[in-house]
Amino acid sequence: MVSTAPVRCAAAMERNDLRLTHTYTVDGWSARDLRAACRDGTLEQLRRGVYAPPGADEPRGRHRDLARAAAVLRLPGTAISHASAALFHGLPVPASSLTQVHLTRASGSHGRRRAGVHFHHSPLRDDEVVLIDGFRVTALERTIADTLRDERFEWSVAIADAGLARQADAGVLLAYADAGRRRRGNRNLQRALAFADGRAGSPAESMSRVSMLRAGIPTPHLQFEVINADGEWVATSDFAWPEFGLIGEMDGRVKYDAPDRGRTASDVVAREKDREERIRACGWSITRWAWDVAVDHRRLGEQLRQALRFATIGSQARFTA
């Protein structure tokens, strides 16, 4: 049986505008021509022997380009994995995890790092690999499990939340945690999965949940629907504490630069102000915070404790720090 892997690889390279040195040589390019094209910005050398037109400037897009280039040069059976695979699945990844490309293959006895690539050696079943943009990438659940073992708890929660929102199989994730009890980082995987909630709408909401946990804040309701006295839906809030009559919202929940929706920034701000007034008209208090507060459990804890004390509807219970 003739392997179709080279054909698939060539198709993936063409689809992603990747070319190897020898393909340029066949077309009559010299080494000097390639160097000149890189100098004038016509081409970009992603890795030794791999070229492409200038690609993404933002870190995550750039990392995906580098991962594709690294995968092209690897042996059959290699898959993009860990934080690199997380990007291909649309999961949030901290910039600190994008300093090297992660690849996994079954052969070899231990991991190693070389030229910006971290090679992991681990068994890969057929059902643990999918094709994305023509490249072999670890499947969603395998990617989440691998990445959560490497990340800090707060980012592990953000990744797990996003994975569950993308219909990751919770049973498969728990099976990975159970099977890897002796693996480094497995305790973090277990903790993050136990705390994960696919209703979190963004990494900022996930970070906020972790900060609330660390600050000892009562567990909020997520994606809480505010209903008015006539039984009509008013809004869906990021967080809610109905027993205190308090709504919590992340700033930036609505993008203020959304030209694709045909609205100016001032239109969006006005719409958000109107939304907030309608929530308050239902008797709720509202407190808002931005990313810098979301990731600081002391600041968020202080803000929420004060807001919970002074919320004016619901029961007269008062939260005590």
* pLDDT digits 0-9 by tens, 147-201: 999 999 999 999 999 999 999 999 999 999 999 888 999 999 999 999 999 999 9
Cα-flanking dihedrals φ and ψ of residue 180, to 5°?
-105, 30
- What is the average per-residue pLDDT within 248-270? 64
**In terms of Cα–Cα distance, which of 293, 294, 320 is closest to 217?**
320
Q: At what angle do helices 203-215 and 297-310 cross, to 10 degrees?
A: 80
Task: Give the pLDDT confidence score for residue 157 in this predicted structure.
Answer: 98
What are the angstrom distances between the C-alpha of 277 and each of 77, 103, 252, 271, 273? 57, 50, 17, 10, 6
Evaluate if residue 256 carries a pLDDT over 60: no
Tell me the whole-structure pTM to 2 decimals. 0.78
Residues 6+ apart with CB under 8 A from 52: 16, 17, 18, 19, 43, 44, 46, 65, 69
What letter represents residue 15's amino acid? R
Instruction: Judge whether 203 and 292 are in contact, CB under 8 Å.
Output: no
Task: Give the pLDDT confidence score for residue 106 in this predicted structure.
Answer: 82
Task: Give the pLDDT confidence score for residue 96 in this predicted structure.
Answer: 87
Rounded Cα distance between 245 and 311, Å, is 6
Element (H, E) at 176: helix 170-179
Task: Give the pLDDT confidence score for residue 134 in this predicted structure.
Answer: 87
Tokens of 124: 């890969």
Tell which wins on pLDDT, 142 or 60: 142
Q: What are the strands of the beta sheet with 246-250, ordered from one edge?
A: 221-227, 233-241, 246-250, 285-289
What are the angstrom distances between the C-alpha of 222 and each of 64, 161, 206, 231, 240? 32, 12, 10, 20, 7
Tell which wins on pLDDT, 146 or 310: 146
Fold classification of 203-310 is Endonuclease; Chain A (3.40.960)
What letter represents residue 167's amino acid? Q
